[in-house]
Amino acid sequence: MSGTSRRTLRCGELRAQHVGQRVRLGGWVHRRRDLGGIVFIDLRDRAGLVQVAVGPGAPDEVRRVAAGLASETVIDVEGDVTARPANMKNPELATGDVEVQATRLTMLGTAVTPPIPVARGKGEELPAEELRLKYRHLDLRRPEMQGNLMLRHRLLQRARKTLADLEFLEIETPILTKPTPEGARDYLVPSRVHPGEFYALPQSPQIYKQLLMVAGFDRYFQIARCFRDEDLRNDRQPEFTQVDLEASFVGVEDVIGYVEQVLVALWDEAGHAVARPFPRLTWRDATERYGTDKPDVRFDFPIADWTAQVKPLGVPFFQPALKDGARVRGLAVKGGGALSRKDVDQLAEAAKQLGAAGLAWVKRQGEQVSGSVGKHFTPEVLGALGVGDGDAALMTVGPDRVTSPVLDRVRQEIIHRLAPAPQTAHAFCWVVDFPLFEPDAETGRPVFAHHPFTAPHPDDVARLDSDPFACRALHYDAVYNGNELGSGSIRITDAAVQRRVFAHLGMTPAEAEARFGFLLSALQAGAPPHGGFAIGFDRVVMALAGAESMRDVIAFPKTTAARALFEGAPAPANPADLAALHIEVKR
């Protein structure tokens, strides 16, 4: 299959079975070892490395070319595949049992000395990320990056096949869409033919896929590129890929079932067996036990409410907050005695940065109790909290909105520092029963926690106006080892309910009509019950590739300042082009 008119097969595909054959190879000079009388060339392509030998018996022309080959030159080699003598095999190389004795050798593409190395020694540091992005064509040649992108390809194919087998139809939706006032900032595209008007790049195909359900396509999916003009993170790029799906005549169970099948297939593609169904926990339990809506449930190490046990101890650090009705919450750390004073100080510093008053700690060594609030605790009290010999307790006090993120962070840091054995390698879970509203950061007024098309929980619809914060949404998140892999919901299909929701967002009926009239009129045209999900595909690849950064699973990613260093985007526009778009730039 890999053969062409200019090669027999790929370099990395050679095996003992090819011994005796004459082959023609094309590839990049990975490394060259010139021993004088004999030259070895490691020739590389996407399949791997093979050693080409140019010995004293090779034609003079071949020896002359081999002696002058620079790294990363593209060459065309013809030669005989020979078995290596036993003591000259290289077990670290898939092709290490054989080598190619070159009989013909030509340079196809000369290469200047690469500014960053492609071939890297064991333990050698990677070049600065800035340089890796600037010389992306070289960075992408590295076997690690080739492996990441080849895995990404296989996962994409597997997602497609899995959904197609489940009778989902792959349908494309527009990239030039309508700006939306809510949610993330839009990337805007000016219209040439309509002065002063703009398209937006989609933040997700949300409304389109709902329209496809109204149109009767029943099950839709798309490998969708999405765009959000927000500040970036290690796992957030301004353009990213979702495995987006939507289905009709479904409930929460159906959608969760489809998504589990896709995720299990993707993990299988990467060689990991994962059991279904995934465990579920409610949003309330997740935030109570883990302090976050994306808990890492690989570790059975929950946050506990210790208010009842700690309040009677009269610890000065806790008293003022306890008077205001706050709770003391903490973590019983098995083996926490191993945490150094420096560890604890750093944890406390991190806690303060997240708004905690501080982080109180106690260590128990037999009958000895020490720590910042140690003198208030006895072994008996600690035992009741689950803190045994050699363990530690870390705790803080305050409103849940502060203690939850603080203890989430502390819990993650402790897992990182003490590196306990996980109970499972691949811990999926569903977080369900999210609240429909959350308080606005400034006004405290209820605002939608998700997008405004999410259906309220049927048991809570009656409380929509009277007690909005108590209303749950038919919204669910897929979480893997503490990472949110995606979210979805059952949608509102009643136009009247959808109008009420828009009114909740502070939109007048006229505004709702102007912004979402096309959705409202669709819902009145006979809308089936429907719901869906979007899997953050880049995060899936990150997890399965073991990549530290999303940039390592995207061929041409942006920097944290949303720049493309390779091609140099964004860039100032030509004044004539701006004029044609009716745009004047103020600086």
Please give the Cα distance from 378 to 370 (Å, whole number).
10
SS3 147: helix
Q: Which helix (H) or strand (E) holds 497?
A: helix 495-504
- Considering only residues 20, 86, 125, 443, which one is a binding residue for RNA as defined by CB under 7 A? 125
| Least distance (Å) between residue 128 CB and RNA | 3
d(CA 119, CA 138): 10
- Any contact of residue 178 with RNA (CB under 7 A)? no
- Least Cβ distance, residue 409 to RNA (angstroms): 8
User: Please, is 233 exposed, middle or buried when counting C-beta atoms within 10 Å of its C-beta (0-12, 13-18, 19+)?
Assistant: exposed
Residue 268 C-beta: closest distance to RNA, Å: 29
Task: Decide: is 15 part of the binding site for RNA (CB under 7 A).
Answer: no
Verify binding: residue 133, RNA, rule CB under 7 A.
Answer: yes
Helices (H), 326-472: 341-353, 379-384, 400-418
Identify residues 480-539 at the interface with RNA (CB under 7 A): none
Task: Answer yes or no whether residue 127 interacts with RNA by CB under 7 A.
Answer: yes
Could you tell me which stretch among 3-11, 122-130, 332-340, 535-543 binds RNA (CB under 7 A)?
122-130
Question: Nearer to RNA by C-beta: 34 or 388?
Answer: 34
Which residue from 370, 549, 556, 578 is in contact with RNA, where contact means CB under 7 A? Answer: 549
SS3 content of the chain, % helix, strand, coil (to 5): 35, 25, 40
> Judged by CB under 7 A, which stretch of 272-280, 292-300, 448-456, 493-501 contacts RNA?
448-456
Instruction: Return the residues of window 379-438 that contact RNA according to CB under 7 A.
Output: 405
Query: CB 183 → RNA: shortest distance, Å?
Result: 3
Residues within window 297-356 making contact with RNA, judged by CB under 7 A: 354
Residue from 1, 86, 121, 585 touching RNA (CB under 7 A): that is 121
Residue 146's Cβ-count burial label (10 Å; 0-12, 13-18, 19+) is middle
Least distance from RNA to the Cβ atom of residue 539, Å: 12
Contact between 444 and RNA per CB under 7 A: no
Strand bridging mode 428-432 / 280-282:
parallel
Interface residue with RNA among 514, 521, 560, 579 (CB under 7 A) is: 560
Q: Please identify which residue in 193, 419, 425, 561 interacts with RNA, judged by CB under 7 A.
A: 561
- Residues 6 or more apart whose CB falls under 8 angstroms from that of 580 comprise 192
DSSP 69-135: PPTT-EEEEEEEEEEPPGGG--TTSTTTTEEEEEEEEEEEE--PPPSS-SS--TTPPPPPHHHHHHT
Residue 180 as a binder of RNA (CB under 7 A): the answer is yes
Q: How far is the CB of 425 from RNA (least distance, A)?
A: 22
Total number of residues that touch RNA (CB under 7 A): 71
Using CB under 7 A as the binding rule, whether residue 130 contacts RNA is answered as yes
Q: Which of the ranges 14-22, 317-325, 371-379, 555-563 carries the binding residues for RNA, by CB under 7 A?
A: 555-563
Q: Which of residues 32-61 bind RNA (CB under 7 A)?
A: 33-38, 40, 42, 51, 53, 55-56
Q: Report residue 366 as tokens.
A: 């037999």
Q: How far is the CB of 536 from RNA (least distance, A)?
A: 10
Residue for token pair 């492609």? 118
DSSP string, 176-224: SB---SSSSPPPEEE-SSSTT-EEE--S-SHHHHHHHHHTT--EEEEEE
Name the CA dihedral angle for 4, 10, 11, 17, rounded to a multiple of 10 degrees.
Answer: -100
Burial of residue 87 (CB within 10 Å: 0-12, 13-18, 19+) is: exposed
179 binds RNA (CB under 7 A): no
Smallest distance from RNA to CB 122, Å: 4
The verdict on 103 binding RNA (CB under 7 A) reads: no
**Residues sharing a CB contact under 8 Å with residue 253, sequence separation 6 or more, in sequence order:** none
The three-point CA angle 571-236-399 to 5° equals 130
Does position 448 interact with RNA (CB under 7 A)? The reply is yes
Closer Cβ to RNA, 263 or 449, answer by number = 449
